Structure 1
Amino acid sequence: MKSIDHQVVIVGGGAGGLELAARLGRKFGPRHVVLIDRSDAHIWKPSLHEVAAGTLDIHREGLSYFMLAKDCGFTFVLGEVEAVDSKARQVQIKPVYADTGEEIFSSRTLPYHTLVMSVGSKSNFFGTPGAAEHAIALDSTAEAERFRLKLLHLLVAANRRKADDPSLQLNIGIVGGGATGVELAAELLEALDDAVFYGLNQLDPKRDIRIVLLEGADRILSALPPKMSAAAQRLLEDRGVTVRTSVRVAAVGEHELTDAEGRSYPVDLCVWAAGIKAPAWLRDLGLETNRVNQLVVDRYLRTTDPDIYAIGDCAQAPWQGQEGALPARAQVAHQQVGYLIDVLDARIRGAEDRPAKGFRFRDYGSLVSVGHSRGVGSLMGVLSGKSWFVEGLLARWMYMSLHLMHHFAVLGPVRTATLAIGRLLTKRGAPRVKLH
């Protein structure tokens, strides 16, 4: 197939999908590369816990997809995929409506030659009664912002009532001790101190606000080395977070959590961060999926349709050299993008589309933020193969560098440096926590 005809359509503008669109767009241009996303702005998903705590403002940090498309050379289509016709090689896109109900874009059909699914994941409630109704899952900027506003309203109300009720206590429950739950707990500690600093001074966060983190496994961060788990738990508990492991939440009520042993935990605000699954509509594509709706791909990242690929959290990819599938981590998606660039380059140019070797993931370790000046991490020595443990400010700086590396991959060095300096200067004139 001639390159002048070949169109790559990428569904999902998360970290992996956007990076793939940007890198391909700079190489081949908007005629060959199309990105579809239901949102008009991109924010790095690992930073959603900061949005939820109010320490990061989505209106300042978000990057417009229309701007990115112009700068990086791809075509952006705003909308949500409704169906995929693999025989006709077409994507059906739902209409887009304004908040007023007015239709902005009508339903559209978009042709493709190669389709890449990168739609990420959402929280898995595992059928827990009341979880969908009463818990907030940090799946999107909208949900993170909903949590932030609810937290702010609770804080204002508690601050007002504290004078009349000195025993008043605000309870925040976090279900799930993975990276999201741990990072949110730590970020909330920072945000609560800042809220008191800006006027909610009837509250003492250490005495009046209780954060409880419930984890079903025998340790938090169970997918990471035990040393990381122990260090993260120590840092959280030293700052007043109650951590309970080997606790399986059986029900979520409006004001309490109940575990499988019948124990009750009072909550005024609950976050669910206990597992993930891919969007349910992926099951309707006629492709092989697993029990959590992920598209099953081979070692070349192809689904059961050779013209459809899948990367990131929505894909179950084999872990070559290890048992089982690759974990849902940002660095997996980043490396999959690097692999697919060569594959799609060949397809666009009309060359052989399958490389000699399949995708092989290289684990460089993990970093977890435990506050603005703290972090824990395990790094894989590239040359020695040994694992190195890092903690404290160094780990925090290294964690922050991951966000810059994502921007670097999308925007390039000059734009990334300009953006970083601009944000640094903006923060000097902005409150430490968003209060509106």
Structure 2
Amino acid sequence: MGAQEQVKAARVLVVGGGVAGVEIASALGKLGDPHIASVTLVDADSAHVWKPMLHTIAAGTRDLAQQQTTYLAQAADANFAYQPGAMSALDRESKEIILDPIVSMDGRQVVPARRISYDKLIIAVGSGANDFGTPGVLEHCFMIDSRRKADDFNSEIRLRMLRGMTGGETLQVAIVGAGATGVELAAELVQLSESAEAYGALGKAAKFQIVLIEAGARILPSFPEEISVATQKRLETLGVKVLVNRRVQAARADSLVLDGEELVPAGLSVWAAGVKAPDFLSTLGLPTNRGNQLIVNDDLQTADPHIYAVGDCASYTLPGETHPLPPTAQVAHQQARYLIELLPKVLSSPHPYTGKGFAYRDFGALVSLSNYDAYGSLGKFGLFNGGVIRGRLAMLSHIWLYRSHQARLYGFWRGGLLWLVDLMNSRLRPTIRLD
């Protein structure tokens, strides 16, 4: 019997169904590789939404039901297993993860705590908003860093619109953090306000006053300054009030306290300033940074060679660089592609296998201001040497990123059909969520 035939098929466990996790589970499941005994995806939620789209779900300018990918259906299509649950601990000696009990809304324990075994573990649990210990944020601010939280915010803003429709109140929404998420949410809320005018009395309820607050010297700090300046001007023409160099000291039920004790009235506050990986990662006995990210090597391995980490929950610094890669969907996708190619080679080798090392290509960044405008910075590679795009080209580029993600999950033809269905629905259904 040859050495190749002596390699035991492995159980691959992927924890986290975000951009990286669901792409890895889908691709490895479809491979049908004889060295992979099974692929299992674990996630506390029941469905996946492309994270750069969460602000549209929060504003209600996109229909959640149309944009989500349910894990059970995807698992059946892509030949992997799905297990619901939130990972809370790790038993490296027995190669098992521990999942928290699943509890119903009324407090009943539906599923007890349980363990799932693995031979290779991929942690892709993403990140959440970082409140930096600011008093009152957890109690009084919404966050839109997950499908459920985005939907919760949308439910609340529709209730406030109903109150405004009957009581004539004007709702002020304060958004803390002017990165891509905060900026794009502000634009989507403007779009919500304008679209609501087509629905009679509802339009009167959607006259929001939107305040965008940034602690740094400019909005979109990771983008070229040219884009920051142009985006701020465009937001201000849309009626958004932009405050820079202003740090939030505390959050209250009806306002935010800025440095200097200035109060910013806010019927709804959204916290979109900074991200961090889940706290439990720092308890696993593996090296992490201050943001709870697992530190990985050139093959995206943690200190344990059987455990990999990708996406927002992983910290990887390119050779020759001083700062780790940013927590973006672009990075998560490229890391997913690397592991999809690497793992079959690792599992088929009778000896420890080292890959060529993860190489990141910066394709630039895009920010979309709903239907009003879009801006993009080009990466520095090949024929490109930086530069800026805006308008229709940037909008199409932003759309293409999402449609490419869908094609990777569903395949080219089915992904194309979903695009067609979205185009048809945009003509036939209400432009905002009204239920």
TM-score of the aligned structures, taking structure 2 as reference length: 0.94
Q: Which residue of 2 aligns with 1:306?
A: 305
Q: Is this contact kept in 1: 2:161–2:202, CA < 8 A? A: no
Q: Does 1:22 align with 2:26?
A: yes
Offset of 1:200 from its aligned partner? 2.9
Q: Which residue of 2 aligns with 1:139?
A: 145
Alpha-carbon spacing, 1:262–1:381, altered in 2? closer, same or farther (3 Å): same
Q: Is this contact kept in 1: 2:48–2:147, CA < 8 A? A: no
Alpha-carbon spacing, 1:348–1:385, altered in 2? closer, same or farther (3 Å): same
User: Which amino acid letter does the alignment assign opposite residue 189 of structure 1?
Assistant: V
User: Which amino acid letter does the alignment assign opposite residue 89 of structure 2?
Assistant: A
Structure 2's unaligned 5+ residue stretches are: none
Q: Does 1:399 align with 2:398?
A: yes
Q: Which residue of 1 aligns with 2:80?
A: 74
Offset of 1:108 from its aligned partner? 2.7
Q: Which residue of 1 aligns with 2:370?
A: 371
Offset of 1:352 from its aligned partner? 4.7
2-structure distance, mates of 1:416, 1:87: 41
Q: Is this contact kept in 1: 2:163–2:205, CA < 8 A? A: no
User: Which amino acid letter does the alignment assign opposite residue 50 of structure 1?
Assistant: T
Q: Which residue of 1 aligns with 2:66?
A: 60
Q: Is this contact kept in 2: 1:257–1:266, CA < 8 A? A: yes
Q: Which residue of 1 aligns with 2:323?
A: 324
Offset of 1:289 from its aligned partner? 1.1
Q: Which residue of 1 aligns with 2:432?
A: 433
Q: Is this contact kept in 2: 1:320–1:361, CA < 8 A? A: no
Q: Is this contact kept in 2: 1:136–1:147, CA < 8 A? A: yes
Q: Which residue of 1 aligns with 2:199?
A: 198
Offset of 1:36 from its aligned partner? 0.6
Q: Which residue of 2 aligns with 1:159?
A: 165
Q: Does 1:7 align with 2:11?
A: yes
Offset of 1:397 from its aligned partner? 1.4
Q: SS of the counterpart of 2:204? A: coil
Offset of 1:47 from its aligned partner? 0.5
User: Which amino acid letter does the alignment assign opposite residue 19 of structure 1?
Assistant: E
Q: SS of the counterpart of 2:197? A: helix
Structure 1's unaligned 5+ residue stretches are: 163-167
1-structure distance, mates of 2:132, 2:377: 30
1-structure distance, mates of 2:199, 2:351: 61
2-structure distance, mates of 1:33, 1:170: 47
1-structure distance, mates of 2:351, 2:325: 26
Alpha-carbon spacing, 1:209–1:345, altered in 2? closer, same or farther (3 Å): same
**Which of residues 11, 31, 53 is equivalent to 1:47?**
53
- Cα distance per residue 1:378-421 (max 9 Å; x no partner): 11254234112111122111101111011111111011011111
2-structure distance, mates of 1:350, 1:133: 51
Q: Is this contact kept in 2: 1:224–1:366, CA < 8 A? A: yes
2-structure distance, mates of 1:303, 1:396: 37
2-structure distance, mates of 1:373, 1:393: 10
1-structure distance, mates of 2:7, 2:416: 34
1-structure distance, mates of 2:290, 2:51: 23
Q: Is this contact kept in 1: 2:211–2:240, CA < 8 A? A: yes
Offset of 1:327 from its aligned partner? 0.5
Q: Which residue of 2 aligns with 1:185?
A: 186
Q: Which residue of 2 aligns with 1:149?
A: 155
Q: Which residue of 1 aligns with 2:341?
A: 342
Alpha-carbon spacing, 1:201–1:266, altered in 2? closer, same or farther (3 Å): same
- Cα distance per residue 1:245-276 (max 9 Å; x no partner): 11111011111111112211110000000011
Offset of 1:187 from its aligned partner? 0.6
Q: Is this contact kept in 1: 2:162–2:205, CA < 8 A? A: no
2-structure distance, mates of 1:385, 1:424: 31
**Residues 242-253 of structure 1: pairs in structure 2 closer than 5 A:** 242-253=241-252
1-structure distance, mates of 2:287, 2:189: 40
Q: Is this contact kept in 2: 1:346–1:353, CA < 8 A? A: no
Offset of 1:95 from its aligned partner? 3.0
Q: SS of the counterpart of 1:31? A: strand
Aligned length: 429
Offset of 1:102 from its aligned partner? 5.3
1-structure distance, mates of 2:236, 2:198: 22
**Residues 103-142 of structure 1: pairs in structure 2 closer than 5 A:** 103-142=109-148
Offset of 1:184 from its aligned partner? 0.2
Offset of 1:59 from its aligned partner? 1.8
2-structure distance, mates of 1:17, 1:106: 24
2-structure distance, mates of 1:322, 1:226: 22
Q: SS of the counterpart of 1:265? A: strand
Q: Which residue of 1 aligns with 2:295?
A: 296
Offset of 1:145 from its aligned partner? 1.2
- Cα distance per residue 1:207-251 (max 9 Å; x no partner): x52100000110011011111111211111111101111111101
2-structure distance, mates of 1:385, 1:60: 35
1-structure distance, mates of 2:243, 2:15: 38
Offset of 1:96 from its aligned partner? 2.7
User: Which amino acid letter does the alignment assign opposite residue 357 of structure 1?
Assistant: K
1-structure distance, mates of 2:282, 2:217: 33
Alpha-carbon spacing, 1:202–1:387, altered in 2? closer, same or farther (3 Å): closer
User: Which amino acid letter does the alignment assign opposite residue 84 of structure 2?
Assistant: L
Offset of 1:428 from its aligned partner? 2.6
2-structure distance, mates of 1:357, 1:264: 54
- Cα distance per residue 1:97-125 (max 9 Å; x no partner): 44455554443321111111000001100
- Cα distance per residue 1:146-201 (max 9 Å; x no partner): 11111111122122222xxxxx5321100000000000000111111122221235
The Cα RMSD (Å) is 1.8
Q: Is this contact kept in 1: 2:299–2:355, CA < 8 A? A: no
Offset of 1:357 from its aligned partner? 2.6
**Which of residues 69, 93, 99 is equivalent to 1:87?**
93
Q: SS of the counterpart of 1:414? A: helix
1-structure distance, mates of 2:7, 2:235: 54
